[in-house]
Amino acid sequence: MQIRKTLLILCGFLFVGLGILGIFLPVLPTTVFFLLAAACFARSSPRFYHWLLHNRWFGSYIRNYREGRGLPMRHKVITVALLWLTIGFAILVVPTWWLGVILFGIAVGVTWHVLSIKTYRPENPPAEVETEGV
């Protein structure tokens, strides 16, 4: 059992690392790796699972996705824009046309996936504070 737990923890950190790389490299699927990390940590370490789900940079992203709430529109727009910016540049510099076609196909697939995810809208938007006599 201890070996299984250790392997799951190691895989969890490997997936976190790949997820972080996926933030910067559009061909790596960020969400998939973070979800795999969460699954590994959930089965091996409550401490690391809690750390991942409450991380200030990607914790809410993972929680919202896992709970079926979706992604905020801002994240969708940023993701698709950065995807096409980097893939577009890569298509221009690849040495063969067929690599460009593959990259284009990846970009279309990832764009379709991101746009097909439910758009998250907070249920209780922050209310404006009314001040009388100020």
Per-residue model confidence (pLDDT) at position 45: 96
Q: Would you say residue 130 lies in a domain? A: no
The 10s digit of each residue's pLDDT in 20-37 is 998 887 677 787 889 899
The residue among 33, 50, 69 that closes a domain is 69
Residues 97 and 48 in one domain: no
17, 7: one domain:
yes
| Listed residue (114, 39, 116) closest to 80, CA to CA | 114
What phi and psi, each to the nearest 5 degrees, are found at residue 27? -80, -15
Indicate if 18 and 51 belong to the same structural domain: yes
**Section 15-23 average pLDDT:** 91
Task: Check: CB of residue 60 under 8 Å from CB of residue 52.
Answer: no
Q: Rounded distance, CA 61 to CA 55, Å?
A: 10
pTM: 0.66
**Residue type at 13 in one-letter notation:** F
- Residues 65, 38 share a domain: yes
16 and 55 together in one domain:
yes
Q: What percent of the chain has pLDDT over 70?
A: 90
The two three-digit tokens of residue 108, written as one number: 């279309």
What SS3 state is found at 68?
coil
42 and 96 share one domain: no
Domain identity same for 62 and 113: no
Q: What DSSP designation does 120 have?
A: E
- Together in a domain, 30 and 56: yes
Q: Is the dihedral of CA 19, 20, 21, 26 positive or negative?
A: positive
Same domain assignment for residues 65 and 9: yes
* Comparison of pLDDT for 17 and 28, the residue scoring more: 17
Residues 55 and 102 in one domain: no
Residue 40 and residue 8 in contact, taking contact as beta carbons nearer than 8 Å? yes
CB 84 within 8 A of CB 111: yes
Number of domain units in the chain: 2
Q: 134 or 74: whose pLDDT is higher?
A: 74
What's the domain range around 94? 70-122
* pLDDT value, residue 126: 56
The total number of residues written for the chain in this structure:
134
State the pLDDT at residue 121. 85
- Report pLDDT digits (tens) over 79-124: 888 889 888 998 999 999 999 999 999 899 989 988 998 998 877 6
